[in-house]
């Protein structure tokens, strides 16, 4: 049976991603000064206004305005922003439930981790290619005066019997200067972005590939002047591109006691190890937590009938090799380190620089 699966990625100049990046810059600064910071400081952006809001319980002295302005400049904005700030400490009711003799979950909820052996990253092919297109574009646009930070990619892959067989469509929409024509944009991006990325995936490319670049015909107004943005609105982009399920909680802005983030990272870690050790071709793990509890409420493993060993053997492997307690997750994956602004764009998974992507012996 054939089917087509589509995933998208967005670049750092997309207003939602801009807010993710700024929020994780705040988190990194807090953790640099105080690794035990409890942070959930988010952003919203529109036109030349940036609203910073949320909760922070930390010993760190954070200059939110300076960090935000530096981040906006890094992204590519040249205008001045008016910054509005509304930040309070974490509710003491929540804090007393979390910070105990043994660290406990900061909230209830369910998180998912997913892995598949269809790529070397153990990720679905559509989202991997979409992210690589955006990363290549971001690298390229920083060398050019004609291209800006706001951009999207979309990749459609045809599957047969649940295995990818070809890339059917690639869609790119990128912001650009008035002085460059659509024909020039198409020629430049094909040469500078699409072709370099597809060299790695030539086995999935044929003459029927449908390449669509800037179908709107014009994209000269970009970022917060084109759209509004908020932290945490790109959870499918951040995870598995719509292939694996997501629990609904975003990652950016949250420190590691927030199991929306750390639980999802660990579930990916375990699912990837199951697939990498050839126990299954595909694995999805659901884990759930209760606020103030040090143990997960539930763990569910689904290999969709692709398991090479019995599910009992796989469950025993997980029980013997992994520990889903928040205190262990933070320690094992070193989640008190200021690593988070680098996660904000191009996906949280499938990137070898992150500890939750390592394969255990």
- pLDDT tens digits, one per residue of 186-241: 999 999 999 999 999 999 999 999 999 999 999 999 999 999 999 999 999 999 99
Three-state DSSP class for 85?
Answer: strand
Residues 6+ positions from 112 with CB-CB distance below 8 Å: 239, 244, 245, 246, 247, 264, 267, 284, 285, 286
pLDDT at 50: 98
pLDDT at 107: 81
At residue 156 the predicted structure's pLDDT band, cuts being 50, 70 and 90, is very high
At residue 106 the predicted structure's pLDDT band, cuts being 50, 70 and 90, is confident
Residues linked to residue 147 through DSSP beta bridges, in sequence order: 176
Mean pLDDT for 241-248 is 94
Of how many residues is the chain composed?
361
pLDDT at 294: 86
CA distances from 150 to 198, 268, 296 (A): 22, 28, 39
Mean pLDDT for 285-295 is 93
pLDDT at 160 over 70: yes
Q: Look over the chain and give the mean of its residue pLDDT values, rounded to a whole number.
A: 96
Q: Is there a contact between 322 and 274 (Cβ–Cβ < 8 Å)?
A: no
Report the percentage of the chain scoring pLDDT > 90.
93
pLDDT at 89: 87
pLDDT at 275 over 80: yes
Residue found under tokens 């126990």: 279
pLDDT at 100 over 70: no
pLDDT at 98: 67
pLDDT at 224: 98
pLDDT at 95: 67
CA 261 to chain centre: 10
Distance (Å, whole) CA 297 – CA 40: 23
Structure tokens of 55?
A: 């909760």
Mean pLDDT for 294-306 is 96
Mean pLDDT for 262-267 is 97
- pLDDT tens digits, one per residue of 301-357: 999 999 999 999 999 999 999 999 999 999 999 999 999 999 999 999 999 999 999
pLDDT at 223: 98
pLDDT at 188: 98
pLDDT at 97 over 70: no
pLDDT at 361: 83
pLDDT at 99 over 80: no
Distance (Å, whole) CA 275 – CA 281: 6
Distance (Å, whole) CA 63 – CA 48: 19
């Amino acid at each position: 049976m054939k089917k087509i699966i589509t995933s998208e990625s967005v670049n750092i100049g997309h207003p939602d991603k801009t807010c993710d990046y700024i929020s994780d810059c705040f988190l990194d600064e807090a953790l640099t000064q105080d690794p035990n910071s409890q942070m959930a400081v988010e952003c919203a952006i529109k036109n030349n206004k940036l609203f910073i809001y949320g909760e922070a319980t930390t010993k760190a002295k954070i200059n939110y305005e300076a960090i935000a302005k530096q981040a906006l400049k890094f992204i590519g904005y040249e205008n001045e922003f008016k910054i509005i700030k509304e930040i309070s400490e974490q509710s003491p009711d929540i804090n007393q439930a979390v910070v105990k003799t043994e660290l406990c979950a900061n909230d209830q909820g369910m998180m998912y981790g997913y892995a598949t052996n269809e790529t070397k990253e153990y990720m679905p092919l559509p989202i991997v290619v979409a992210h690589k297109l955006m990363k290549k574009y971001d690298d390229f646009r920083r060398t050019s005066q004609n291209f800006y930070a706001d951009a999207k990619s979309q990749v459609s892959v045809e599957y047969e019997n649940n295995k990818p067989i070809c890339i059917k469509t690639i869609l790119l929409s990128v912001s650009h200067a008035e002085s460059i024509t659509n024909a020039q944009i198409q020629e430049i991006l094909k040469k500078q972005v699409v072709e370099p990325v597809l060299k790695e995936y030539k086995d999935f490319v044929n003459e029927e590939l449908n390449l669509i670049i800037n179908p709107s015909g014009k994209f000269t107004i970009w970022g917060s002047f084109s759209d509004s943005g908020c932290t945490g609105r790109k959870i499918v982009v951040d995870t598995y591109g719509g292939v694996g399920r997501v629990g609904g909680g975003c990652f950016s802005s949250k420190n590691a006691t927030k199991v929306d983030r750390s639980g999802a990272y660990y579930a990916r870690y375990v699912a990837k190890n199951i697939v990498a050790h050839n126990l299954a071709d595909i694995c999805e793990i659901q884990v759930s937590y209760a606020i103030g509890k040090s143990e997960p409420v539930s763990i569910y493993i689904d290999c969709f009938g692709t398991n090479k060993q019995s599910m009992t053997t796989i469950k025993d492997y997980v029980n013997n090799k992994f520990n889903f307690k928040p205190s262990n997750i933070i320690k094992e994956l070193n989640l008190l380190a200021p690593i988070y602004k680098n996660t904000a764009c191009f996906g949280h998974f499938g990137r070898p620089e992150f500890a939750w992507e390592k394969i255990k012996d």
